[in-house]
Structure 1
Amino acid sequence: MTVIYNSILETTGHTPVVRLRTLSAFASEILIKLESFNPGGSIKDRAAVSMVTGAERDGRLKPHGTIIESTSGNLGKSLALIGATRGYRVILVIDPKAPRSMVDFATALGAEIEMVDTPDESGGYQRPRIERVQQLLSVTPDAFWPDQYNNPDNVRAHFELTSRELLNDVPEFDALVTAVSTGGHISGLSAAVKQALPDAITVGVDAAGSAAFGYPFAKYSMRGLGLAWKPGNLDHSVVDRVHLVADYEGIATMRVLARNEGLLVGESAGAAVFAAVHHAYRYPGSRIVVMAADGGVNYLGESFHPDWLRADGLADKIEAAGITTPEGLVAAASRPTNEQVPTEYGLRTATLAND
């Protein structure tokens, strides 16, 4: 049956779920939901449409207004897509870690770029980016800030829509493994999954160095996950366990997935799959669903490029850890840099004897 859409935004959702062939170790099954099939190439399309539509509905965003947001890339692509289709000016505040391909995508659709290139005292860029957003809001008429970190419409998109889609495709599973990011998709999706599958474990995957769960902040290389603070959208009560993945573990995993599964996924998805393999090691025989937030095309000039890996000091770490084959990845995930650990709430349910 032929379907004709009235807007590219209507193609958001209904992303495929693929079974991993070479990494479903320890008698477990790992399924990966590929959010790169959304029109803007990431899971952020779902949140962006929800946040903008909510603002249109209640008058916070007026016709021909301006959308201003802080982003490391993917949400910027989504907002640029919305701006082009609905007639909004879009200003994106980014930092030097934003992949060049993401910037090129957004500017091709008419978005304007504001670069923040001075980090704060901890080495992070999120706070300086938000400060620049606030400055722009004060001088821009009819401006709307989606505030992806604290906007409940971000969470709502995944609670109401993404979860329904996932549970229709995979009605039964034991664990949901996904990057923490701004807290929107993990909180909304996990809350809905726990209503349908009360015994399912949610593993929040974050960068080693992220402070979203109260750990000390430190610099890290991966994009798409990690924050210097706890975002308002992150509901710790629906996250059972946390796995802080090292840069070399997540980036090496995305490279193994490309060469052995034909799956070109992003850095946060690589980290999530690494955490999923570790979860399979600790919970043999599990059925595990991984959310792959974006695709690897965004990172071809960086994470998939040997010169970038060497310059960032990751090439030697990946080689030393042996994460260059599926077998090497499984072995490394059995003894990761950081073990997954229960959260305060997870202590009540998904605790292992050796935690």
Structure 2
Amino acid sequence: MLKIIDKYILRRYLVTFSVMLLMFIPIGIVIDVSEKVNRMIEHKVPFGEIALYYLNFTIYFANLLFPIFLFLSVIWFTSKLANNTEIIAILSSGISFTRFMRPYLIGATIVSVSVLMLGFFVVPKASKGFNDFRYAYLNRNKQTRDNSNLFRQISDSEYIYVSNMSQVSRTAFNFTLEKFEGDKLKEKLTVQRLRYNPAKKNYTMYHYTKRKVGELNDVLLSGEKKDTVFKFDLDDLTPEYYMAETLSLGELNKFIDKEKARGNANVKVYQVVLYKKYSIPVSAFILTVIAVAVSSMKRRGGMGVNLAIGIILAFTFIFFDKIFGTLAEKSSFPPIIAVWIPNLVFGILAIYLLRNAKR
């Protein structure tokens, strides 16, 4: 009897979640197409690249918004069980509420492991394709322009600046490299266009000027074109958050270690992305418990009341996640604590609601 009920609830859990994704992602694609179709036509984007972009779009946003989809899907089908008095029948047969929760937790485990693996290996590739497309064809997008400005410390005495970086052509524009001795500027290199050559693993400078600061006179060197080698990697010319999103787990850990060794003040941006890879899958358990506790009772207002409560709680969770993530990136607040605070707060809420539901 219990195995039949477990399979029934688990199947409803996974099917409703899948249907919820299949319902809302096409809506997101339609909205995105309506906003960007003019730019795609203007840039004459090949159909194959558009199709690949929306495949990456689907993976990227499904991973980003899965807590909301999961939460609403659990509330939806659990409310239907409650309205049909199926939950009352199950509990009246002598099954405890904790035992009733087992298939939900199994479903949450399946979703969490799937999201964890996707976040480690699949989502970074999808994010890279998604962002590369935006950089290549949607360069009027305000967010793309804002993310292009980059200032980074690459060693104890060296700093680089890039006003814009094309990921597709691997070209940086308005590049500057400054070298200091203490507080004094000793050397400054400015390049209008800097292109990376993968085959030779070097860079080509176009329209460059190099100034060496002397005690009495400065030395100026300039030219139209020159191949050279720099100590930094191509990844160092990429905006922080964009770079963090496109790295797999192992690559991200190595990159964080490298940035720490350099003394990069923006390393917290990478740490927030790393810790979220672990915290977001855990939220599947917390949101599942809250959703079951909220929707397992038959209410006078029916399913609409449960959905309204669910939507409010889901967006509150997303709000907490964004606020504390930004706080960790922009302040001295420890990233690992900031990333886990939403789970901690909603975990306490889940325990409280579960106790009330048992009563």
TM-score, normalized by length of structure 1? 0.25
Write 1 or 2 for the structure with the bigger share of helix.
2
Could you say which structure has the larger radius of gyration? 2
TM-score, normalised to structure 2's length?
A: 0.24
